[in-house]
Amino acid sequence: MKRFIGLTAWMLGCAVFEIQGAYGERFVTEAARAGIEIWGLRRKCPGILEGKVRLGQYPDLAPVSLRCGVTLELCETRGLPVLLRRYRYRMGLLVGFLLFLIDLFVLSLFVWKIEVPGVSAARAEEIEAVLAENGFEVGTFAPSVNFRQLKYAVMLAFDDISFVSVNLSGSRAVVEVVLADPAPEHVPADVPCNIYASSEGQIISIETLEGVPYVKAGDAVVEGQLLVGGIIDSKIMGYRLVHAMASVRARTFRTLSVTVPYRQTETVDTGRSRSYYSLVLFGHRFDLTLRPEPEYEQYRTEVSESTLHIGDNLVLPFSLIRTEQTEQTEIVYRYTEEQAREEALRQLKERERIWLPGREIEDKRENCVSDGECVRYAYFYTTIEQIAVSREIYSGKDDK
Amino acid sequence: MNEREMKNGANSDPQIEFCGNRQVLVEGCRGILEYEPETIKLNTGKYNIRLNGRELQLKHLAMGTVLVEGCLTGLEFMA
């Protein structure tokens, strides 16, 4: 609030005055009665008061001072009106300022930064390439862009994108992308199909809703074996194709194993790094370093970009890219057998956590073998799971 | 004194608002009678008010409103 008041005072301009005489209080009272706003009143020394008034109200103080018998003296004038008056004959400054404003306005009509948040850098580049093909890139005149067409172009170019929105804020374009969940592989209900075994095992139960079952409970099956056929041979109607549907539960034997070598390598920073700078002007990149070749054998690269902008949305077409290469080295260390075993168990449990859902464990055994080089940890499962998988029947082609 | 007179009487009284002992706002001030860093005397019509303190300063003065800042140590109502 104080800053706002200060800014208002500066915009309107203020005059700092001094009054000398014995009737300072009377002067202040009379001025207030005359509708003159006074602030910052302080006594500099006995007989002298200093205060501030709005620049436009200062001439009104003169008759009051005469009436009260005090001497009024103008000490200083401050604020924007004073500044403008001071530079009123320097038209070049004004023209320069106006040109700057026009420049700013014109630059704000172009797109100077395109962001694609929420996706990988590689995918962002692909999306930006599609946008560029459709005439939307850094330096594009924003009012000429057909955002709806752009949106459809991106959606058509990528199958795994379900939603695209191109938002323009000032000269910054934010392309919001929602990736579609991958559709599960399934055969549409009106397409004829067979059911095969997804893995080897022993059939526990089979419930056929449609089609001809070729196996029964207790049978052993191998991966890819036909379980329920979608081709029905009828003596009355002849052959007909149906969409086979069945629930097939089987006992399967699975193994999860992890191998952890005793010799481990880890990549660490050596602490040495080198930075390169590039200047980007209107979408064109200029290297500021003469020899940007990497001088380290092994290194990691970090790139950071500082863009010149006014506020959040008005991005100017100037940016500085800093590329930092940090040298790395590999250090080698050895696990003890106990450490290797712990690490293997940890990795195995993590794999089990991802693999387990949808399976019912009937039996589980574990085995750990170690030699001079590594530790092998394995879980052997007997599980009960669904092994039915549908596959379309292609007429005229051999079904597997 | 009827209700209306009471209201009028209340309205003619100055409104004094303190913010700790650092700031005081007086509404209904008719003039400054004395202005020193240690004391400020204000005319409010019915009576005068004397503000005592250290480094007192009239921060703002307009339309019968006075804002005084400083280290206030006392307030006196004077006939």
Identify the weakest region by mean pLDDT among A103-107, A327-331, B2-6: B2-6
Question: What's the mean per-residue pLDDT of chain A?
Answer: 85
| Residue labelled with tokens 């902008």 | A309
CB atoms near residue A151 (< 10 Å): 16
Establish if A291 touches chain B: CB-CB under 8 angstroms. no
Mean pLDDT of A300-327: 82
pLDDT at A311 over 50: yes
- Does B8 reside within a domain? no
Closest Cα in chain A, distance from residue B5 (Å) = 27
Establish if A367 touches chain B: CB-CB under 8 angstroms. no
Coil, helix or strand at residue A400: coil
Band (pLDDT 50/70/90 cuts) for residue B5 is very low
Cα A23 from Cα A25, distance rounded (Å): 6
Q: Determine whether the interchain pair A29/B62 forms a contact, defined as Cβ–Cβ distance below 8 Å.
A: no
Query: Closest partner residue to B59 among A33, A36, A39, by Cβ?
Result: A39
- Does B2 reside within a domain? no
- Does B5 reside within a domain? no
pLDDT: which is higher, B10 or A308: A308
Compute the Cα dihedral for B44, B50, B51, B56 and give only its sign.
Answer: positive
User: Which ipTM was obtained for this model?
Assistant: 0.78
Band (pLDDT 50/70/90 cuts) for residue A185 is low
CATH for A113-179?
3.10.20.310
Query: Closest partner residue to A37 among B32, B57, B62, by Cβ?
Result: B62
- Does B3 reside within a domain? no
What residues make up the domain containing B69? 14-78
pLDDT tens per residue across span A263-288:
888 888 888 888 888 888 877 888 88
CATH for A2-85?
3.30.70.340
Mapped to the 3 state alphabet, what secondary structure does A26-93 carry? HHHHHHHHCCCCEEEEEEEECCEEEEEEEHHHHHHHHHHHHHHCCEEEEEEEECHHHHHHHCCCCHHH
> What CATH code is carried by the domain that includes residue B27?
2.60.40.2000
Domain count across chain B: 1
Q: Determine whether the interchain pair A43/B37 forms a contact, defined as Cβ–Cβ distance below 8 Å.
A: yes
Q: Determine whether the interchain pair A39/B30 forms a contact, defined as Cβ–Cβ distance below 8 Å.
A: no
Coil, helix or strand at residue A258: strand
Best interface-test mutation with A: which of B25, B32, B54 has the largest number of A CBs within 10 A? B32
Between β-strands A113-115 and A172-179, what pairing exists: parallel, antiparallel or unpaired?
parallel
Chain B residues with CB under 8 Å of A47 CB are none
